Amino acid sequence: MINQDVDVAVIGSGPAGLAAAVSAKQHGTGRVVILDRNSWLGGILPQCIHDGFGVEETGESMTGPEYAEKYIAMAEQQNIEVMNETMVLQFDRKREIIAVNKKGIYKIKAKSIVLAMGCREKTRWSAMIPGDRPSGIFTAGVAQAFINLYNLMPGKNVVILGSGDVGLIMARRLKFEGANVLGVVEILPYASGLPRNVVQCLDDYDIPLFLNHTVTSIEGRNRLEQITIAQVDKNMNPVLGTEKQIKCDTLLLSLGLIPENELSKNADIEIDEITGGPVVDQNLETTLKGVFACGNCLQVYDIVDMLALDAKRAGKNAAKLTTTKKRKTGIQFVPGAGVRYVVPQKVTEGGTTQLTLRAEKPGEVSTLRVIVNDKELFKKKLPWVNPANMIKVDVDIPSEVIKSGQSLEVTIND
């Protein structure tokens, strides 16, 4: 066992981990170490070769690899230590991390930990798609890695199920590589990816989007040969008689992302069932003292800019050991009508608190309200809402409200 003592240990070197580490260092902490499973830094960024990264954060539009490079350079400059090809096996409430790499097994004692493990893609079975089990079924991110990192062509005639951003981006990417992209199938009445991606990745290339449809069967004994799609009713059940067969050799799945929190769960950190990420307070501290969460393992973000800004806060708080007196005075944020979830899930001190949240469904002009004890604490008009676009607001919460112990309800009404 190789023993180490560090000030801040960051688990994951994707955009969140990098931003958190850089920020931790900037806020004057001593030894910062990033632990990452891959042989490279940047997590998923190196395979995201499309542009649009960093616009809101820096004003400059970069590709994923460029955006990663920017942070990697900062990390190098600040002498942040990196342990690559290093898998964290567990950590505990004493913030002792057990990790493994080719040099051996490590026990790393950290004053604080930043969780930045990212997320994974939902599989065929999360949507319970019946049929054969041929080759040619990939999650969109895996197909993206094959094409952009490994120079491998996973398909020729492709259908994409799910209109998440990765799926939309991959529709265009496959088209660029000469594949025949036959359509994107989405079970909801609206696309689940960003509107700009629907326009730039599908509309611009005449790729059809089948809304209110799903894949009802997969056929092919060896390689995929055909899928069946059908319209769905209000309860998402396929409508008999609307089935349509599509011959294809590849089905990409873009069914959504699940925060990776196996480590957090093993450490008994409380998880929000809706976000899939740890329950955090306004400092992004989890229910375990000294353990902070950021990035897609906290909640699935739609753009990297907002993710990085939050991650920097997590890094700063980890550096300053901004722990709060827990559970004694904290009050809850409760998602009310029209709101799917709110992060942070609780707040322990009065003052300006940044909320990130998602709407339940798309809508026109709406009003966001924060209500405590039937009284309106905060109100903001929104020109439109879409579940694909995360909403971010700063809300002033008076100390008396915290002391009252009442929970804060967040609602979005037309």
Partner 1 sequence: MKNFHVAIIGGGVIGSSIAWELSKYKLDVVVFEKGSDVASETSKANSGVIHSGINSPPSSLKARYCVEGNKILQSLANELGFPLQWVGKYVIAKNEEETKELERLKKVGIDNGVPGLEIKNGTEVTEPNVSCFAALWVPTAGIVSPYKFTMALAENAAENNVKFLLEAKVTNLKKQKDGFIIKTSKGDFQSPLIVNAAGLNCREIVSMVEEPDFQVYPCRGEYLVLDKKHSSLLNSMIYPVPPKELGVLGIHITPTIEGNILLGPSAEFIDNAENKKTTREMMKNLLNEAKEIIPAIPDKAVINAYSGIRCKLASPEDGGWADYRIEESKQTSGLISLLGIESPGLTGAPAIAKEVARMISQSIELKSKDNFKFARTKRKRFSEMSAKEQSDLIKKDERWGRIVCRCEQITEREVIDALSNPLGAKTLSSVKYRCRAGMGRCQGGFCTQHIVRIMEEQFNMDVKNIKLRSPDSNLFYGRTREVRDD
The binding site for partner 1 (CB under 8 A) comprises: 1, 37, 85, 87, 89, 98, 100-105, 120-121, 123-126, 128, 130-136, 139, 141-142, 145-147, 149-156, 177, 216-219, 221-223, 238, 262
Q: Is the peptide bond preceding residue 335 cis, with omega within 30 degrees of 0?
A: no
Cα separation, 79 vs 7, in Å, equals 14
Q: CB-wise, 32 or 253, nearer to partner 1?
A: 253
> Cα–Cα distances in Å, from 78 out to 82, 114, 269, 293, 315?
12, 18, 31, 22, 14
Q: CB-wise, 124 or 316, nearer to partner 1?
A: 124
Sole residue written with tokens 């560090």: 6
Q: CB-wise, 105 or 239, nearer to partner 1?
A: 105
Q: CB-wise, 98 or 382, nearer to partner 1?
A: 98
Residue count of the chain: 414
CB of 98 to partner 1, least distance (A): 7
CB of 131 to partner 1, least distance (A): 5
Q: CB-wise, 84 or 329, nearer to partner 1?
A: 84
CB of 160 to partner 1, least distance (A): 16
Cα separation, 100 vs 83, in Å, equals 10
CB of 108 to partner 1, least distance (A): 13
CB of 68 to partner 1, least distance (A): 18
Q: What is the H or E stretch that residue 160 is in?
A: strand 157-161
User: Is residue 210 classed as helix, strand or coil in its secondary structure?
Assistant: strand
CB of 274 to partner 1, least distance (A): 13
Beta carbons of 291 and 285 less than 8 angstroms apart: yes
Q: CB-wise, 224 or 280, nearer to partner 1?
A: 224
Token code pair at residue 174: 């496959």
CB of 29 to partner 1, least distance (A): 28
Sole residue written with tokens 């999650």: 139
Q: CB-wise, 137 or 391, nearer to partner 1?
A: 137
Token code pair at residue 190: 């609206």
Beta carbons of 134 and 224 less than 8 angstroms apart: yes
Q: What's CA 146's distance to the chain center, in Å?
A: 21
> Cα–Cα distances in Å, from 232 out to 13, 120, 187, 215, 255?
40, 26, 7, 10, 16
Q: CB-wise, 12 or 54, nearer to partner 1?
A: 12
Cα separation, 191 vs 53, in Å, equals 21
Cα separation, 264 vs 114, in Å, equals 11
CB of 228 to partner 1, least distance (A): 11
Q: Euclidean distance between the first and final Cα of the chain, in Å?
A: 58
Q: What is the H or E stretch that residue 345 is in?
A: none
CB of 249 to partner 1, least distance (A): 8
Q: CB-wise, 217 or 411, nearer to partner 1?
A: 217
